[in-house]
Structure 1
Amino acid sequence: MATASSFAAVFFSSAFAACFAEVCTIPLDTAKVRLQLQRKTPPPPPPATAATAGGTLATILCIAREEGVAALWKGLIPGLHRQFLYGGLRISLYEPVKAFFVGGAVVGDVSLLSKILAALTTGVIAIIVANPTDLVKVRLQADGKVNTVKRNYSGALNAYATIIRQEGIGALWTGLGPNVARNAIINAAELASYDQFKQMFLKLPGFTDNVFTHLLAGLGAGFFAVCIGSPADVVKSRMMGDSTYRSTLDCFAKTLKNDGPGAFYKGFIANFCRIGSWNVIMFLTLEQRAPLFIASSSLCSDSCEVYAFVKEP
């Protein structure tokens, strides 16, 4: 059974890996949020703006040109807050929850269903805790010069305080419904598919538990996560970026009616570039750093087995 020290070791190693990946990929996330917030409007005259630029690269270049390069890292501080809480919890809880679903210690191959259920569960728990950080991150990223809603937050702490003062503390959980759906789905796609891909690759001739295997498994996990989670991600971004929507269903219905079904995959390339690269960086960092954290905590052997997710199965 996992000890408190073993849980803490995996939590901090996961949080470190998630925060490092966030720093590396947040410009892609900013571009993705801006693309997801776009509404269907008549084509604007050139030059394009950051609100109307059609592609990922064009959006990044427009944001840098119009608002400065630093704007691409808007939302970094709450992004780090989010990754510390969400990234740390969803991964450190994964193996204990998976063991719960299989009815004991994780030994040998585990069914894909058990992996999916474990990842769905940890995704829900983690995002309920981290939703306020996600809200502030999206609002800071959406607060561009050409955005119709200009909130003028001076920073993350000011955003938290302003939201509580103006909208009430409950507003920090705005968009919780689609955020739970989005993160439960994406967490299941990422963790379960990474776990499954890695297990599958290690059974193939020539594959070992090395960086190349981790890279392929991370890319596969990222692709599945984007394909499955993009619609919920768009609804989440729109609800957090625009407080006029009454509910998740209202946002979904209005997006479908006004912008068409393709709107649910707005920013798909940016999202895949973001989540694909995020997964590769995060899992590579986790696979390399987690054993060091675990070893430094002087764990007993049975505790290490519980956290076999970051070790060779």
Structure 2
Amino acid sequence: MLQMITHVVKGDGFTGLYRGLSASLLRQITYSTTRFGVYEELKETFTSAKSSPSLPTLIAMASTSGFLGGIAGNPADILNVRMQNDASLPPEQRRNYKHAVDGLARMVKDEGVRSLFRGVWPNSIRAVLMTASQLASYDVFKKELLQRTSLGDDLTTHFTASIMAGFVATTVCSPVDVVKTRVMSAHTQESIVGLITRITAKEGLGWVFKGWVPSFIRLGPHTVATFMFLEQHKKMYRKWNGYE
């Protein structure tokens, strides 16, 4: 990973580390907003004063939310992958999108509207796995910490549950992340089965967890920040509306 960072800085300067930032922000606006919004709405619908959703129900709700989020965020996800991958390509092969809006316009113009949903199935599957492993596991870890330890519903519990959820999500999503990235950054069409067969024959089964450490370095803090902010937001929302 350090070698990759050095290569990017040497070739594009420190600004190269933020290549694709606009696409990443657009992805969060579309993908994350959809999956969190749908999940919280479903959880509220199926929660009553006497009972809360079981683990299978939480997983089902999170999977539904993730699938919808994966479809909503697919165009921005493609841009994010392509813009970040540019740094590893020779200058003549780079797409050189100026920003997310420019990338979307050029994709539609050069490749057609269908290009916006390239890799939508592996991306949606990844979104299902991510949301189910991240959101559902967080709720389970938080519940267990509250029931089995002396911790209260505070920042310590939120931090502990979220870092554990980040570990689970990174591990579950690692194989799909590898496939998704290679499909979206490819210059030629190749079936998912063909891609998996080819990289397994070439790299062995080690490809399944290739890039796990940088993925966790990214996803771990992201998961912690997301859930700690979400918990505080929910607390302020309940207080503002007189629910507590």
Name the TM-score, length of structure 1 as normaliser.
0.72
Q: CA RMSD in A?
A: 2.1
The one of 52, 55, 69 equivalent to 1:112 is: 55
Partners of 1:291 and 1:211 in 2: CA distance: 12
Using CA pairs under 8 Å that are at least 6 residues apart, name the structure with larger relative contact order, 1 or 2: 1
The one of 61, 66, 84 equivalent to 2:29 is: 84
Partners of 2:205 and 2:81 in 1: CA distance: 22
Secondary structure of 1:144's counterpart equals helix
Partners of 2:238 and 2:193 in 1: CA distance: 43
Number of residue equivalences: 243
Provide Cα deviations, 1:33-68, integer angstroms capped at 9, x if missing partner: xxxxxxxxxxxxxxxxxxxxxxx2332233223221
**Aligned: 1:172 with 2:116:** yes
**Aligned: 1:69 with 2:14:** yes
Is the Cα–Cα contact under 8 Å of residues 116 and 188 in structure 1 kept in the other structure?
yes
Partners of 1:86 and 1:295 in 2: CA distance: 28
Is the Cα–Cα contact under 8 Å of residues 151 and 157 in structure 2 kept in the other structure?
yes
CA distance 1:270–1:173, change in 2 (3 Å): same
Secondary structure of 1:246's counterpart equals coil
Is the Cα–Cα contact under 8 Å of residues 185 and 229 in structure 1 kept in the other structure?
yes
The one of 218, 221, 225 equivalent to 1:281 is: 225
Correspondence list, 1:292-307, <5 A = 292-293=236-237, 295-296=239-240, 298=241, 301=243
Partners of 2:193 and 2:109 in 1: CA distance: 27
Give, in angstroms, the shift of residue 126 of structure 1. Answer: 1.1
Secondary structure of 1:138's counterpart equals helix
Give, in angstroms, the shift of residue 169 of structure 1. Answer: 0.6
Give, in angstroms, the shift of residue 94 of structure 1. Answer: 0.9
CA distance 1:197–1:78, change in 2 (3 Å): same
Tell me the residue number matched to 1:191.
Answer: 135
Tell me the residue number matched to 2:76.
Answer: 133
The aligned amino acid for 2:151 is F
Give, in angstroms, the shift of residue 247 of structure 1. Answer: 2.3
Of all paired residues, the percent bearing the same amino acid is 33
Provide Cα deviations, 1:225-284, integer angstroms capped at 9, x if missing partner: 111111111100011111323222222222222222111211110011111111011111
Unmatched tracts of structure 2, length 5 or more: none
More helix by share: 2
Provide Cα deviations, 1:114-154, integer angstroms capped at 9, x if missing partner: 11111111000111111101111111010115458411222
Tell me the residue number matched to 1:15.
Answer: none
Secondary structure of 2:51's counterpart equals coil
Tell me the residue number matched to 1:205.
Answer: 149
Tell me the residue number matched to 1:41.
Answer: none
The one of 216, 228, 235 equivalent to 1:291 is: 235
Partners of 2:28 and 2:55 in 1: CA distance: 25
Tell me the residue number matched to 1:161.
Answer: 105
**Aligned: 1:233 with 2:177:** yes
Give, in angstroms, the shift of residue 295 of structure 1. Answer: 4.8
